[in-house]
Amino acid sequence: MLGSLLQAAIIVNILASTIRIATPLLLGAMGELVSERSGVMNLGIEGTMLMSSYVAFLVDFQTNSIILAILAAMLTGAIMSLIMAFMASTLKVDQTVTGLALNLLASGISLFWYRVAFKGTSTESIPTIQTMGTVKLPLLGDLPYLGEIFFSQGLLTYLAFLMVPVIAFVLYRTHTGLAIRSLGENPRAVDMKGINVTRLQYMSVIFGGVMSGLAGSFITIGTTVRFLPEISAGRGWLALVIVIAGNWRAGRILLATLLFAFLDAFQLQLQGIGIQFPFQILLAAPYILAVVVLMSSRARSQAPKHLGMPYMREEG
Amino acid sequence: MRPFARIKLEKREDVGLFGRLFAILVALLAAMLVSAVLIKFTDASPTEAFTNLIKGAFGNRRAILETLVKSTPLILTGLATVIAFRGKIWSIGQEGQFFLGAIGGYWAYRAFEGLPALALVPIIVVAGFLTGAIGGMVAGFLKAYFNVDEIISTVMGNYIIDYFLSFLLSGVGPWREPGSYYQQTATISENAHYPLLFDNSRLHMGFLIALTGSLVVYLILNHTPFGYQLRAFGSNPRAAKFKGININKIFIVTMLISGGLAGLAGTGELFGVQYRLRPDLSPGYGYTGIIVAMLAGLNPIGVLPAGILFGALINGSAQMRIATGVPTALTYAIQAIVLLFLLSAQVLSRYRIRRIEHAG
């Protein structure tokens, strides 16, 4: 009797963590989807997340305001992706190397800024912040099991899952969405229609950046009271993997996200139970899974045809 | 009818050495300006910080040699990047392969510990190269036969190797120094140390390996059929396919060499400088190598001055921190800023401004 109850509690716990862990991955992947649909492969989202997670931490620490921290993280995401858009769309520089540069920039600046802003903090007095807390939805939150799994989460988690149908709707059911998708397939056709290619690409990439900014804010103020160097820990890269594994479709991206999040939640639970197993192998599991997923998802039928290639308008 | 001549930006076919050097100069100056602003935030004087940085890097014989010590792994990871990027293979796995080289070297050291230095050191070097090469080859293989994007596979590889090392050095792992509080191996015995090149300096044999590596990569790229194929593939993948070049072989062999070079960087750091395997053996040498390669214009000989420049930056930053309190993390920011400005400046140097008379 007690055994089975305990097991149910563990399963609920794992599933609730899955939803929580999915949040930054989903935000990042859905943002990247919009960016890639417009033809820009933003490899800098790892850095965008890292930078915004630091800024969210800093603003939360200084002002004690979660709202301001989230807004600041969104702004940081916008600025980082503005650099990406400028390099990719205006200067037409190689997008791969630009993305790498953004990641290195974020590693350097966030660490430098942390060292400057929190000068003289030692290991005993690591600065901490208040975190976001969860919101139990009325009625739904009281459902047995489901309430605990799905409806007692942080606000950013609800937002992340809400954005999936919203983005799918905008991409597939609106004129703007059609234009964005055409950009990734055939930018010349979009240009011929008199739509401003550069502007639309900027908007898409910056939207992706803002989503990564939200993801970054969740990493610090949504989950932990401290900031550590490289705290984003590959979540941005996993978001990129998820977009490929999801074959650039919103629904499949959601599924792929849940798969990665479940694996992570599962290994956390194993660690918690204290099973005799080298936990580093468990920690590496999502990255191993990423390679396996990419090996098996050879169909890239929905990849934007013009992804990663700058659009050059021939001048008359 | 327009009365005025228009000014037009026109794309140049060939940038030329002057254009490239100009782009590098602009990028370095712009990065210095931004760094000065960042230094201002720390309440230190930028002039004082830069002076100390340069003094720390080139101030005396000892400082210069130490700069070369720091540039040794950067030259090797830079070369690893050059050979991959020349074939438009975007490997970012140099950081992971660096650690693989250290792991492989350490494994060989444990296996052949009793041998005299004359036999042991070459075995360690070969083992380091091979382990790095295997790591690179896996990414090449995944790209060739499973169409797995090499950017993603190498980044994932970096994380996986990071955790693997952390396991090796953990309490339950096999290599943890007995009784140590830290994640580290015991100190390596002297018969496995890379020979030092000068008195009163840590400059070791690895620097000569790096110099040789630069020459070898130059020869491979410019004087072998494989190098020709690699460059042909890099400049036009589609045409190379039609010419009947075996692309899968290119992926795998290129990544093998690239991984091996990065591996040698890790072996050199472990057996030439640190003498202990720790998770912080590299402060990001793999990633800095990418910037070194870009700054060198993907030229294997150019990697030498570019590597020394960034080695100087890392070496000088220590004195900068001691004298002015500016965190050494600044150097990582500077590296990325140099890369961003370099990319922009390269674009601009590819254009020239021309007045054209309007014709109808």
DSSP A56-87: HHHHHHHH--HHHHHHHHHHHHHHHHHHHHII
Q: How many H-runs (helices) and E-runs (strands) does chain A carry?
A: 12, 2
**pLDDT the model gives residue A4:** 54
**Nearest in space to A119 (alpha carbons), one of B78, B329, B217, B191:** B329
Domain coordinates in residue numbering, chain B: 72-326
Reading chain A (316 residues) residue by residue, the pLDDT tens digits are 455 556 888 889 899 999 999 999 999 999 999 999 999 999 999 999 999 999 999 999 999 999 999 999 999 999 999 999 999 999 998 898 899 999 999 999 999 999 889 887 666 677 888 888 888 888 888 888 888 888 888 999 999 999 999 999 999 999 999 999 999 999 998 898 889 999 999 999 999 999 999 999 999 998 888 898 889 989 999 999 999 989 899 999 999 999 999 999 988 888 777 666 778 888 898 999 999 988 887 666 678 888 888 887 764 3
Amino acid (one-letter) located at A296: S
Q: What's B176's DSSP letter?
A: S
Hey, where are the domains in chain A?
2-296
Q: What pLDDT digit, counting tens, does each position of A240-252 carry?
A: 999 998 989 999 9
Whether the CB-CB separation of B321 and B327 falls below 8 Å is answered with yes
- Residue B355: the pLDDT is 54
**For B157, which residue in chain A has the nearest alpha carbon?**
A287
Alpha helices in chain B (DSSP H): 16-41, 46-58, 61-86, 94-111, 117-146, 150-168, 205-223, 225-235, 237-242, 247-268, 285-295, 303-324, 330-349
Q: What is the pLDDT of residue A315?
A: 45
CB spacing of A101 vs B339 below 8 angstroms: yes
C-alpha angle A204/A70/A36, rounded to 5°?
Answer: 20
Average pLDDT over residues B305-329: 94
Between CA B204 and CA B179 the distance in angstroms is: 30
User: Mean pLDDT across chain B, nearest whole number?
Assistant: 91
Distance from CA of A4 to the nearest CA of B (A): 32
pLDDT tens per residue, range A254-293: 999 999 999 999 888 887 776 667 788 888 989 999 999 8
3-state secondary structure of B157: helix
Residues in chain A: 316
How many residues does this entry show for chain B?
Answer: 360
Interchain CB contact of B351 with A (< 8 Å): no
What are A217's two structure tokens?
């804010």
Whether pLDDT at B13 is above 70 = no
Query: B343 in contact with A at a CB cutoff of 8 Å?
Result: yes
The ipTM estimated for the assembled molecules is: 0.89
Q: Calculate mean pLDDT across residues B95-114.
A: 97
Tokens of A97: 């190397």
Question: How confident is the prediction for chain A on average, in pLDDT?
Answer: 89
Which of B149, B163, B344 has the CB atom closest to A284's CB atom? B163
Give the pLDDT confidence score for residue B360 in this predicted structure. Answer: 38
CATH number assigned to the domain with residue range A2-296, chosen from the 4 options 3.30.1050, 1.10.1760, 1.10.1740, 1.10.3470? 1.10.3470
Instruction: Say if CB B163 and CB A280 are below 8 A apart.
Output: yes
Average pLDDT (B227-237) is 90
How many Å lie between the alpha carbon of A133 and the closest alpha carbon of chain B? 30
**For residue A100, which residues of chain B lie inside 8 Å, CB to CB?**
92, 287, 290, 339
Q: How many Cα atoms occupy the beta-carbon half-sphere of B89 within 13 Å?
A: 39
Q: What are phi and psi of B343, to 5 degrees?
A: -60, -45
First CA to last CA across chain B, in angstroms? 7
Contact B77, B285 (CB under 8 A): yes
Q: Which chain A residue shows the shortest CA-CA distance from B165?
A: A280
**Nearest CB to B159 within list A83, A234, A281:** A234
pLDDT score of A151? 87
pLDDT digits (tens, 9 = 90+) for B25-71: 989 999 999 999 999 988 899 999 999 999 999 999 999 999 999 99
Fold of B72-326: ABC transporter involved in vitamin B12 uptake, BtuC (1.10.3470)
What is the least distance, in Å, from the CA of A186 to any CA of chain B?
20
Instruction: Identify the pLDDT of residue B356.
Output: 55
Between B241 and B323, name the one with better pLDDT.
B323
B151 at A interface, C-beta within 8 A: yes
